[in-house]
Amino acid sequence: MRIILGAACVAALISSTTGVSATTDLPGFLPELSAGTIAVISDGEFVAQTYAMGRLAPAGAGLRDRLTILTIEDGTVRTASLNVSNSVTAAPEVIALTPDGATAFVVERLGERPAGGETVRDLSPGNRLFAVDLSDKANPVIADTIEIAPFPEALSVGPQGDRVAVVSNTPDASYLQIAAVADGRFGEVARFSLGDLGVEGSSSGPRGGITATNVQWHPSGRFLAVNINTQNRVAFFAVTEQNGALSVRSWGNIVEVGRDPFVGRFTPDGRYYLTSDWGRDFTASDLEGRLPQTPSSISVIRIADPQAQNGDARHERISGAETDVSAEGIAISPDGRLVATVNMRGTPFLQESPRFQREASVTLLTFEPETGSIAKVADYPVNGVLPEGGSFDLTGDHFLATVFEGHAGADADSGAGLEVFRVVRGERPALERLGRVPVPHGAHHVVVGQ
């Protein structure tokens, strides 16, 4: 099994548990981005072939689970990093920043490799939620850790930064958990079974066929959306607090969307919820059968009036659009008028597979907040393996997509890292590739903050 680290300068760029590098090590376009903080999470246990072969990266390769922090200030870019356990097997939404950029939260779906571990089966269930203090971005530190239900899949930080919602899928039940946060430390954790909240399964599989893969706070902080991808549905919940105790109840109807709605996002105005419907076949027993050969899609859900009582709240899927094959991550621009998905295409397959492709893609779409209509603009190629997560910068003038690893012989501009595009505005917007920022092997999500 070959391990492609992408670029020789990665070792110099981030070479210790916490290391700092000046802008001279990084592409010259980075200071153009509107971002005080760029946070990238990387999985060091997996390589691209792990999905097909089940074997982890060789222990001797020295790869580690890493959180990389890039700070842009007064035209200067600096980097720092530390080891934080995480897993690419979850949805991209395993990392989030508080609105002020002072704290990063990371959740681990699978635990760290044990001594002698060589296969995916050797990894234990993850059950930790980390709070990383970024008050000194040159020296990030894990400030707090709590245990949550095993196999957490995704997290979301509330708009006030005082709550973190997490969904987990244990062998017995799917859970929604809400952790209180104050000064970058965790408080009480409230746990709710989705079954008790009205999300019921009917199959004979684990959890009755329910798997929750995404959770997102509404911009008001009053509601949550949870994707149930195995049922092609999205459930909505109202969150209230009385005398210090949290209460969660269903809010409105559960909405049917496209096949396998893996991730989702509320629009900035809170009027819509968009899902990226990957389209996998969960009855298949191998990678070839599971991953789709037809394009993924987006579903647009119009959200009920936030003032409506539960019995009157009615959400509705009103539109959709095709994206590209195996779309995973989704992002919405700050003005709510552009949407992007990050598409793996055939890059996860072994090179001898007839379905292997060297190029993945990013799909750009336009969105009309007034009507909820969405339309595809174009697909933009990405040379690399397993791009998954993506984010617009704070002004929406740039888009960043993670690339898990490069192909054999990849140089600094095509190895593991962040693929960066400039957003070209106009009647027909477009993406213009600027280049790639090298980060440690296994990058699978990026978030941008103050």
Alpha carbon separation from 39 to 35, 68, 78, 182, 210 (Å, rounded)? 10, 6, 12, 21, 31
Residue 258's pLDDT is what? 98
Q: Indicate if the pLDDT at residue 412 is higher than 60.
A: yes
Helix (H) or strand (E) holding 13: helix 9-13
Please give the mean pLDDT across all residues of the chain: 92
The residue segments making up the domain with residue 263 are 9-449
- Note the pLDDT tens digit of each residue in 167-195: 999 999 999 999 999 999 999 999 999 99
152 assigned to some structural domain: yes
The structural domain count of the chain equals 1
Residue 104's pLDDT is what? 98
Residue 393's pLDDT is what? 98
- In this prediction, residue 92 has a pLDDT band, given cuts at 50, 70 and 90, of very high
Residue 160's pLDDT is what? 97
* Three-class HEC string of 53-106: HCECCCHHHCCCCEEEEEEEECCEEEEEEEECCCCCCCCCCCEEECCCCCEEEE
C-alpha closest to that of 134 among 163, 164, 170, 98: 98
Q: Indicate if the pLDDT at residue 5 is higher than 50.
A: no
1 assigned to some structural domain: no
- How many Å apart are CA 273 and CA 368, to the nearest integer? 13
218 assigned to some structural domain: yes
Residue 83's pLDDT is what? 98
CATH code where residue 330 lies: 2.130.10.10
Residue 257's pLDDT is what? 98
Residue 231's pLDDT is what? 96
Residue 342's pLDDT is what? 98
Residue 25's pLDDT is what? 66
- Note the pLDDT tens digit of each residue in 21-48: 444 468 999 999 999 999 999 999 999 8
The owner of tokens 């690339």 is: 403
The average pLDDT across 130-150 equals 97
Alpha carbon separation from 92 to 70, 288, 308 (Å, rounded)? 19, 21, 32
344 assigned to some structural domain: yes
Helix (H) or strand (E) holding 422: strand 417-424
The average pLDDT across 280-299 equals 96
* The dihedral formed by the CA atoms of 186, 393, 84 and 215, expressed in degrees to the nearest 10: 50
- How many Å apart are CA 387 and CA 383, to the nearest integer? 9
Q: Indicate if the pLDDT at residue 233 is higher than 70.
A: yes
Residue 311's pLDDT is what? 78
Q: Indicate if the pLDDT at residue 19 is higher than 50.
A: no
Least confident span in 76-90, 405-419, 436-450: 405-419
- In this prediction, residue 4 has a pLDDT band, given cuts at 50, 70 and 90, of very low
State CA 112 to chain mean position distance. 19
4 assigned to some structural domain: no
β-bridge partners, 447: 39
207 assigned to some structural domain: yes
2 assigned to some structural domain: no
* Three-class HEC string of 342-391: EECCCCCCCCCCCCCCCEEEEEEEEEECCCCEEEEEEEEEEECECCCCEE
Q: Indicate if the pLDDT at residue 6 is higher than 60.
A: no
State CA 214 to chain mean position distance. 9
Alpha carbon separation from 334 to 258, 367, 398 (Å, rounded)? 25, 12, 11
The average pLDDT across 277-298 equals 96
Residue 16's pLDDT is what? 36
- Note the pLDDT tens digit of each residue in 341-397: 999 999 999 999 999 999 999 999 999 999 999 999 999 999 999 999 999 999 999
Residue 26's pLDDT is what? 86
- In this prediction, residue 411 has a pLDDT band, given cuts at 50, 70 and 90, of confident
* Three-class HEC string of 327-338: EEEEEECCCCCE
